[in-house]
Structure 1
């Protein structure tokens, strides 16, 4: 991932604006219910007229940012990019993260727009910066916290639409979670099932959940972030006591976090979510996970095609992702570009290939 070549185009203008995206239906997880994604849209224009686009999806319980804070940070970050060569994206991404530590949604939007502008100026697909040509990526579909019968209906509909991988949100209480996941399994007996508690359980509750599902004959591909993000010891405790692979999500925002998790032996799977790390650091996290023989997962927030396609390009470029959860834009009432509700994320260049409808 070296920029190479001459300096090329330089940043002339950075525009930051709110992006409100109503959802098709309310989306409930253990951290709360969303009816609309209150996102941040960033465009980076170079002195040769090239424009790149980026998006962030702040969610205070996960990213620690309000939308207002993310907008302010993105604008301040844009000022630091003024006159800088877009080809220096790696240095600039590092400078921004040093200047605005923890502002992950804002910096995801700015960094993506910077990379997109660089790639569009050079006529490259974003995936090529990460080592591979753009190719279709297959995603799962997420079923939020719902009563069992409603979750079963969602699962049935998803399978009829061609989805072979489903992720069920949990963390609302072990008994209710067991009933929901069992109902989904009955409605979609051949689908691969993952569950995501979004930190909603204790270690003891996670172990009880896994054993109750095992006793019912319900198989799971993984359990994602069952315990509090700071409880690395609790995550390790769970991993050592259940047969289902355990994924770290909110526990890993940075490469340093990834090192902490793998050194502790706390996870079988690391969720490389660009909404937490940004594209450049995502590649570093993936490398750490691979070196520790952990499987790779990619996740998303409630993002439009801009954020989703950016992540899909990273997946296509790096390769080797065992679990793909890039369905955020499928949960929207309307995307920023026409989007087919399908398990296949078709991507193209240059850049991430998405130019939002104005």
Structure 2
């Protein structure tokens, strides 16, 4: 039975708990930055005095977020619990207090804010996506192809299209013949599939311009190129975006609203990829999306190698800030055991269906 606005002490957050699970991947996840064969799924639970539970997830990777399961556990047990415990989830000051509870640790902060928001949803008989203002619980995601040889990329692409994906994102490395790989994929899937590529900072600016222009001449029809150069090289990112016709999207260069503003003022990138684990939570990501909209920059919501708890929160944000976009939220598709529950999103081909309002938890 749905819970309707519980009152008094029953709403108070009594504690935070961290649960860590290692889940094997269906295939190695390979980018220019790292290779992973398993994912650590780090879930934070926020519990209230009535026993209801809200969940958030912290994406961990030393190479990407700079956080680990151990660092998240320490942050949650210490300063984040100090800020959260004893307060109600609908305390309007709570997101800001979580944000300043400790320096860095964006993924840990995000997990706690998402857990608190999920607990608030449980208390009010709603769902997080509804609290965020989304109108529809359904949205679409792309499917990522790990960096590989042209033949392997083409085989993986055909397989994902047969699974029902209409948008593919191809990871490329500096050591790869990226043009050959993308041409092979385009030949294999035909013109009806949208292709994106993600270099994960693999190229120097001059290399990026040369490779992207070669792809343009090859007629592979890319939707965009993601993070072609180093995250801190905004002049290089600006030079690439100005020199090619293909839209450029910033990912690693963008974490917060201030980063989006800097991107807008110093480059001509067309899109930004926002991630909860980078931004530090729902509130910060919403602000970043608002700045992007104000500057005419498109928003795609992305993820790490995350389980369904993390994807559900990110998809709720995506449904609220850019419902018409095909987002980058296929993390759970990589997991051998996706750890799905009736409280997480459901995944059917390229469609993500967010959970309905929760019952009494």
Whether TM exceeds 0.5 here: the answer is: yes
- Tell whether 2:187 aligns with 1:180: no
Q: Secondary structure at the match of 2:63?
A: helix
Match in the other structure for 1:342: 349
- Separation in 2, partners of 1:265, 1:235: 7
- Tell whether 2:305 aligns with 1:302: yes
Match in the other structure for 2:54: 52
Per-residue displacement from partner, 1:170-211 (whole Å, max 9, x unpaired)?
Answer: 1333x5222211111111122100011111111111111111
In the TM superposition, what are the counterparts of 1:105-254 in structure 2 within 5 Å?
105-173=107-175, 176-189=177-190, 190-254=192-256
- Separation in 2, partners of 1:294, 1:311: 19
Gaps of 5+ in 2: none
CA contact 1:232–1:266 (8 Å) conserved in 2: no
CA contact 1:296–1:323 (8 Å) conserved in 2: no
Q: Secondary structure at the match of 1:221?
A: strand
CA contact 2:142–2:166 (8 Å) conserved in 1: yes
CA contact 1:298–1:315 (8 Å) conserved in 2: yes
TM-score normalized with structure 2 length? 0.91
RMSD: 2.0
- Separation in 1, partners of 2:244, 2:272: 17
The Cα shift of 1:265 comes to 2.7
**Counterpart among 270, 273, 277 of residue 272 in structure 2:** 270
- Separation in 1, partners of 2:347, 2:230: 35
Q: Runs ≥4 in structure 1, deviation > 6 angstroms? A: 4-8
Q: Secondary structure at the match of 1:87?
A: coil
The Cα shift of 1:48 comes to 2.0
- Tell whether 2:309 aligns with 1:318: no
Count of aligned residue pairs for this structure pair: 348
**Counterpart among 321, 328, 332 of residue 329 in structure 1:** 332
In the TM superposition, what are the counterparts of 1:49-88 in structure 2 within 5 Å?
49-76=51-78, 77-88=80-91
- Tell whether 2:103 aligns with 1:96: no
The Cα shift of 1:125 comes to 1.5
- Separation in 2, partners of 1:19, 1:54: 14
Gaps of 5+ in 1: none
- Separation in 1, partners of 2:272, 2:313: 19
- Separation in 1, partners of 2:277, 2:61: 10
- Separation in 2, partners of 1:15, 1:49: 13
